[in-house]
Structure 1
Amino acid sequence: MVRKNFDERLHRPERLHRSGRLRLGGSRIVTADEEIDALIARHQDWRGARLSDLRALILDTEPGIEETWKWMGSPVWELGGILCVGNIFTNKVKLVFMDGAALDDPHTLFNAELEGNKRRGIDFFETDVPDTSSLQTLIRAAIEHNRARTAAKR
Structure 2
Amino acid sequence: MTADWRADQVDRIRALILEADPEVVEESKWRKASNPDGVPTFSHSGLICTVETYKDKVKVTFAKGASLPDPSSVFNSSLDGGTRRAVDMLGPDDLDEDAFVALIREAVALNLG
Quick check: TM above 0.5? yes
Q: What is aligned with 1:107? A: 72
Give, as a single letter, the amino acid of the residue that structure 1 aligns with 2:107: A
| Structure number having the greater helix percentage | 1
SS at match of 2:76: coil
Query: How much has 1:127 moved relative to structure 2?
Result: 5.2
Aligned residue in 2 for 1:126: 91
Please, what is the CA RMSD of the aligned residues?
A: 1.0
Residue of structure 2 equivalent to 1:58 = 17
What is the alpha-carbon distance in structure 1 between the residues aligned to residue 66 and residue 82 of structure 2? 6
The structural deviation recorded for 1:61 is 1.1
Please state whether the residue corresponding to 1:60 is helix, strand or coil: helix
Runs of 4 or more above 4 Å deviation: none
**Larger-Rg structure:** 1
Deviations 1:37-66 (A, max 9, x none): xxxxx3100010111111111112122111
Cα separation, 1, equivalents of 2:94 and 2:56? 15
Structure with the bigger RCO (C-alpha within 8 Å, sep 6+) is 2
Unaligned segments of structure 2, at least 5 residues = 32-37
Aligned to 2:47: 82
Aligned mates of 1:138, 1:69 — CA distance in 2: 21
- TM-score norm. by structure 2 comes to 0.90
CA distance in 1, matches of 2:110, 2:70: 13
Structure 1 unpaired stretches of 5+:
1-41, 149-154
Give the number of aligned pairs: 107
Counting aligned pairs with the same residue, the percent is 36
